[in-house]
Protein backbone atom coordinates (compact mmCIF):
# COMPACT_ATOMS: atom_id res chain seq x y z
CA UNK A 1 0.00 0.00 0.00
CA UNK A 2 1.51 3.35 -0.96
CA UNK A 3 1.84 6.09 1.63
CA UNK A 4 -0.79 8.47 0.16
CA UNK A 5 -3.35 5.62 0.15
CA UNK A 6 -2.41 4.74 3.74
CA UNK A 7 -2.81 8.36 4.83
CA UNK A 8 -6.18 8.74 3.11
CA UNK A 9 -7.52 5.61 4.78
CA UNK A 10 -6.08 6.71 8.13
CA UNK A 11 -7.75 10.11 7.81
CA UNK A 12 -11.08 8.48 6.94
CA UNK A 13 -10.73 6.08 9.88
CA UNK A 14 -11.08 9.14 12.15
CA UNK A 15 -14.32 10.19 10.49
CA UNK A 16 -15.90 11.26 7.22
CA UNK A 17 -14.10 13.91 5.18
CA UNK A 18 -14.70 15.90 2.04
CA UNK A 19 -12.00 16.46 -0.57
CA UNK A 20 -10.37 19.58 0.80
CA UNK A 21 -10.36 18.35 4.40
CA UNK A 22 -8.72 15.11 3.19
CA UNK A 23 -5.92 17.15 1.64
CA UNK A 24 -5.31 19.08 4.87
CA UNK A 25 -5.73 16.05 7.13
CA UNK A 26 -3.30 13.85 5.17
CA UNK A 27 -0.74 16.64 5.24
CA UNK A 28 -1.18 16.98 9.00
CA UNK A 29 -0.97 13.21 9.59
CA UNK A 30 2.30 13.01 7.66
CA UNK A 31 3.78 15.93 9.59
CA UNK A 32 3.81 18.02 6.42
CA UNK A 33 5.85 15.46 4.48
CA UNK A 34 3.11 14.38 2.08
CA UNK A 35 1.21 17.11 0.30
CA UNK A 36 -1.37 15.54 -2.00
CA UNK A 37 -2.64 17.40 -5.00
CA UNK A 38 -6.38 17.30 -5.82
CA UNK A 39 -5.80 15.28 -9.02
CA UNK A 40 -3.86 12.58 -7.15
CA UNK A 41 -6.41 12.56 -4.33
CA UNK A 42 -9.36 11.96 -6.62
CA UNK A 43 -7.50 9.33 -8.68
CA UNK A 44 -6.83 7.47 -5.43
CA UNK A 45 -10.40 7.97 -4.17
CA UNK A 46 -11.78 6.58 -7.45
CA UNK A 47 -9.59 3.50 -7.10
CA UNK A 48 -10.45 3.01 -3.42
CA UNK A 49 -14.15 3.23 -4.27
CA UNK A 50 -13.67 0.68 -7.08
CA UNK A 51 -12.02 -1.63 -4.55
CA UNK A 52 -14.81 -1.08 -2.03
CA UNK A 53 -12.56 0.45 0.65
CA UNK A 54 -14.21 3.88 0.61
CA UNK A 55 -17.80 4.98 -0.03
CA UNK A 56 -19.74 8.22 -0.58
CA UNK A 57 -21.23 9.55 2.63
CA UNK A 58 -23.49 12.44 1.69
CA UNK A 59 -22.98 15.91 0.27
CA UNK A 60 -23.81 19.51 1.12
CA UNK A 61 -23.43 22.95 -0.39
CA UNK A 62 -21.20 25.35 1.57
CA UNK A 63 -20.76 28.94 0.34
CA UNK A 64 -22.00 27.93 -3.08
CA UNK A 65 -19.49 25.05 -3.36
CA UNK A 66 -20.51 21.41 -3.43
CA UNK A 67 -18.83 19.20 -0.82
CA UNK A 68 -19.10 15.42 -1.09
CA UNK A 69 -18.12 13.43 1.97
CA UNK A 70 -16.29 10.12 1.95
CA UNK A 71 -16.20 7.44 4.62
CA UNK A 72 -14.25 4.27 5.29
CA UNK A 73 -16.02 0.94 4.69
CA UNK A 74 -15.48 -2.15 6.84
CA UNK A 75 -13.27 -3.58 4.07
CA UNK A 76 -11.28 -0.35 4.13
CA UNK A 77 -10.83 -0.62 7.89
CA UNK A 78 -9.61 -4.22 7.49
CA UNK A 79 -7.17 -3.22 4.75
CA UNK A 80 -5.85 -0.37 6.91
CA UNK A 81 -5.41 -2.67 9.91
CA UNK A 82 -3.55 -5.24 7.79
CA UNK A 83 -1.20 -2.58 6.49
CA UNK A 84 -0.66 -1.09 9.96
CA UNK A 85 0.18 -4.57 11.34
CA UNK A 86 2.62 -5.16 8.50
CA UNK A 87 4.35 -1.84 9.11
CA UNK A 88 4.49 -2.48 12.87
CA UNK A 89 6.12 -5.87 12.32
CA UNK A 90 8.66 -4.27 9.99
CA UNK A 91 9.40 -1.52 12.50
CA UNK A 92 9.92 -4.10 15.30
CA UNK A 93 12.43 -6.00 13.20
CA UNK A 94 14.27 -2.78 12.39
CA UNK A 95 14.43 -1.80 16.09
CA UNK A 96 15.70 -5.25 17.09
CA UNK A 97 18.40 -5.02 14.43
CA UNK A 98 19.45 -1.60 15.71
CA UNK A 99 19.64 -2.93 19.30
CA UNK A 100 21.89 -5.75 18.10
CA UNK A 101 24.05 -3.23 16.29
CA UNK A 102 24.32 -1.03 19.39
CA UNK A 103 25.24 -4.02 21.60
CA UNK A 104 27.87 -4.99 19.06
CA UNK A 105 29.37 -1.50 19.11
CA UNK A 106 29.51 -1.44 22.93
CA UNK A 107 31.09 -4.90 23.19
Partner 1 sequence: MSEAALERGYRRALRAYPASWRARHGEEFLGVMLDVAAGEGRGKPTRSELLHLMLHGTAARVNRVLQGRRRDRMAAIGTIGGTALALVMMVLGELGRWFRWNSYNLVDHPFGAFTTPAAIAFVLTIMAFAALAAGRHTTARVLHAAAVAASIALAVVLGVTDPAIPVHPLVFSFFGAANLLALFGNPVRTSVLRRLVFIGAPLLGVFITLTSYLQGGGAQRTFWGGPYLISDQRLAWWSLELVVLAALLAAAGPKARPWACLALIPLASLPLSGMFLSLGGNAAIGLIGIQPGVFYVFCSVMGVVSAWVAWKRPVLSFGSRDARPAG
Residue 28 contacts partner 1 per CB under 8 A: no
What secondary structure does DSSP assign to 50-82, as a single string? Answer: HTTSEEEEEEEEETTEEEEEEEE-HHHHHHHHH
Give CA–CA dist 107/74, Å, rounded.
49
Q: How far is the CB of 102 from partner 1 (least distance, A)?
A: 26
The secondary structure element, H or E, covering residue 37 is none
Q: Kindly tell me which residue out of 7, 9, 11, 23 binds partner 1, with binding defined by CB under 8 A.
A: 23
Q: Kindly tell me which residue out of 10, 13, 16, 19 binds partner 1, with binding defined by CB under 8 A.
A: 19
How many residues touch partner 1 under the rule CB under 8 A: the total is: 21
Q: How far is the CB of 59 from partner 1 (least distance, A)?
A: 7
| 74 Cβ contact list (under 8 Å, min separation 6) | none
Residue 102 contacts partner 1 per CB under 8 A: no
Report the site for partner 1 in 29-58 (rule: CB under 8 A): 37-43, 46-47, 50-51
Residue 5: count of CB within 10 angstroms of its CB: 18
Chain contacts with partner 1 (rule: CB under 8 A) = 2, 18-20, 23, 37-43, 46-47, 50-51, 59, 65-68
Amino acid sequence: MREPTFLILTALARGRHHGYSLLTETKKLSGGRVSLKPGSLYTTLDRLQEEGLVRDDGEEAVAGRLRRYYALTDSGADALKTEADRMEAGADVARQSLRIRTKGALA
